[in-house]
């Protein structure tokens, strides 16, 4: 169990988002999703809202993610607890990112609520920035409660020593869109977490279409290490920048 201090959570509800940023994976969904949007050109982020009526929030939403975390408000932040006893067993290249899927049983607890870890995936360079600073890689740990409310934990990676926690997935990294592997060595999500779980808190959205809002965002303050070679391996699997540009903060408050 990880139990460490961390931000103020408002009670938000939202409908179940079927893909949870690509959680569900099938050849049919993969093919259709690849055709609907991308990170560049006429299907890139600037055009997402025009590609499908379901993507309207990408252009009309007022609480969109990612953001630049700045002008932070100090607050008394409740703890989060991570109970991650089960291990990730599948790594997938869905054409937009690389993600690791998890069986049931991994729980994030915050303010008396339980959110189950569904998957984590990566963006390079980072989508969120901290006081304007970008990082070579950011992981998003996507959790959902029983009603479909989402909580995403963001972890920043800074270049340094190799990350041993990542290596089981990197050893079998699918290099082509549509590839998936069952991991020989399951991955332990706790090994990707920094020593401190202090975080920044804000209300946001999915960072990919349909850009649905009502997502609890918890971006951990302390980055973890990743080697230059590991970043380059990810970039071979996803050979383009897969980060949505930062969005206006508008009236939101970012608590630390």
What residues pair up with 100 in beta bridges, in sequence order? 91, 120
Q: Tokens at residue 214, please? A: 């009502």
Helices (H) and strands (E) in the chain, counts: 5, 14
Task: Tell me if residue 176 is catalytic.
Answer: no
As to burial, measured by CB atoms within 10 angstroms (0-12 exposed, 13-18 middle, 19+ buried), residue 159 is middle
Residue 151's nearest CA partner among 140, 162, 159, 161 is 140
Residue 160's nearest CA partner among 100, 222, 218 is 222
Q: Distance between CA 61 and CA 58 in Å, rounded?
A: 6
Query: Is 242 within 8 Å of 22 (Cβ atoms)?
Result: no
Distances (CA, A) of 173 to 62, 92, 123, 170, 224: 36, 8, 15, 5, 20
Query: Is 58 within 8 Å of 64 (Cβ atoms)?
Result: yes
Q: Distance between CA 10 and CA 217 in Å, rounded?
A: 11
What residues pair up with 226 in beta bridges, in sequence order? 159
Query: Is 158 within 8 Å of 225 (Cβ atoms)?
Result: yes
Catalytic residue among 83, 96, 123, 143: 96
Q: Tokens at residue 107, please? A: 């729980």
Active site residues: 96
């Amino acid at each position: 169990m990880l139990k460490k201090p961390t931000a103020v959570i408002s009670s938000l509800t939202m409908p179940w988002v079927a893909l949870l940023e690509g959680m569900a994976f099938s050849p049919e969904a993969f093919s259709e999703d690849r055709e609907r949007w991308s990170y560049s050109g006429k299907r890139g982020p600037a055009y997402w809202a025009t590609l499908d009526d379901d993507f309207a929030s990408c252009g009309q939403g007022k609480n969109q993610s990612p953001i630049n975390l700045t002008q932070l408000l100090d607050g008394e932040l409740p703890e989060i607890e991570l109970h991650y006893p089960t291990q990730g067993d599948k790594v997938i290249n869905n054409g937009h990112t690389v993600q690791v899927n998890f069986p049931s049983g991994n729980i994030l607890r915050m303010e008396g609520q339980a959110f189950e870890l569904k998957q984590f995936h990566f963006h390079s360079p980072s989508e969120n920035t901290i006081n304007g600073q970008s990082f070579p890689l950011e992981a998003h740990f996507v959790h959902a409660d029983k009603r479909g409310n989402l909580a995403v934990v963001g972890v920043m990676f800074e270049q340094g020593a190799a990350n041993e926690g990542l290596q089981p997935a990197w050893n079998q990294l699918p290099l082509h869109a549509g590839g998936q592997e069952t991991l020989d060595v399951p991955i332990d999500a706790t090994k990707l977490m920094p020593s401190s779980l202090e975080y920044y808190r804000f209300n946001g959205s999915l960072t990919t279409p349909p850009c649905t809002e009502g997502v609890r965002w918890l971006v951990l303050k302390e980055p973890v290490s990743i080697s230059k070679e590991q970043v380059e391996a990810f970039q071979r699997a996803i050979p383009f920048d897969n980060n949505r540009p930062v969005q206006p903060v508008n009236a939101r408050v970012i608590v630390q």
